[in-house]
Structures are given as structure tokens and as C-alpha cells.
């Protein structure tokens, strides 16, 4: 799945229509995607329904950033953890 396909799935998850927010969403989607990959989630796991849902929650978490206030929600962490556990066994 390429970055454009991932972006479209995130937009569906966020109920965002049109392309007026694409540039902002693309930056945030790629940031959360890279965070997940760096944490140890595989590309194939990221492309599953759970991976896309986790990515979408993460994008939602950082949608309205305030300086120094970047943090992921409990929901993001709860979705991310099983994906990490699955690869660490």
C-alpha cells in the first residue's frame, strides 16, 4: 500500500471529504506512520485494519497541536501495543 492509499484510508477514518486538508493530513499521517515503524510495527502490520485504525487514531491525536503538547492518547497506545507484542515474540 502506498502513502496515497494510506492517506485515503486515514481520511475515511477521520470522516474528511475533499482534498483541502490533504497537505496537513499527509504530513501528520507520515509522522505517525514513521513513529509506528520506528517503534517496531512492520509495514505489513501497519497496512492491516488494526494498523490503519491505529494510524488514524494517532493522526487524530496530533491534529490540533500546541507547542510542547504532543502526546498520543491511551486509545492509540492500546491499539499500538498488540502490534508490538505480536512482533516481539
* Run of H or E residues at 78: helix 74-88
The model carries a pTM of 0.88
What confidence tens digit (pLDDT) does each residue in 39-67 have?
A: 999 999 999 999 999 999 999 999 877 77
Domain extent at residue 24: 3-88
Q: CB burial class (10 A; 0-12, 13-18, 19+) of residue 22?
A: middle
Domain total in the chain: 1
Would you state the cell numbers that stand for residue 66, as one nine-digit string? Answer: 500546541
Amino acid at each position: 500500500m502506498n502513502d496515497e492509499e494510506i492517506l485515503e484510508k486515514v481520511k475515511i477514518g477521520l470522516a474528511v471529504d475533499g482534498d483541502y486538508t490533504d497537505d496537513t493530513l499527509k504530513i501528520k499521517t507520515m509522522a505517525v506512520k514513521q513513529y509506528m515503524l520506528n517503534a517496531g510495527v512492520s509495514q505489513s502490520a501497519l497496512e492491516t485494519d488494526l494498523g490503519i485504525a491505529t494510524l488514524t487514531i494517532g493522526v487524530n491525536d496530533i491534529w490540533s497541536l500546541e507547542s510542547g503538547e504532543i502526546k498520543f492518547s491511551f486509545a492509540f497506545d492500546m491499539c499500538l501495543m498488540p502490534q508490538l507484542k505480536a512482533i516481539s515474540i
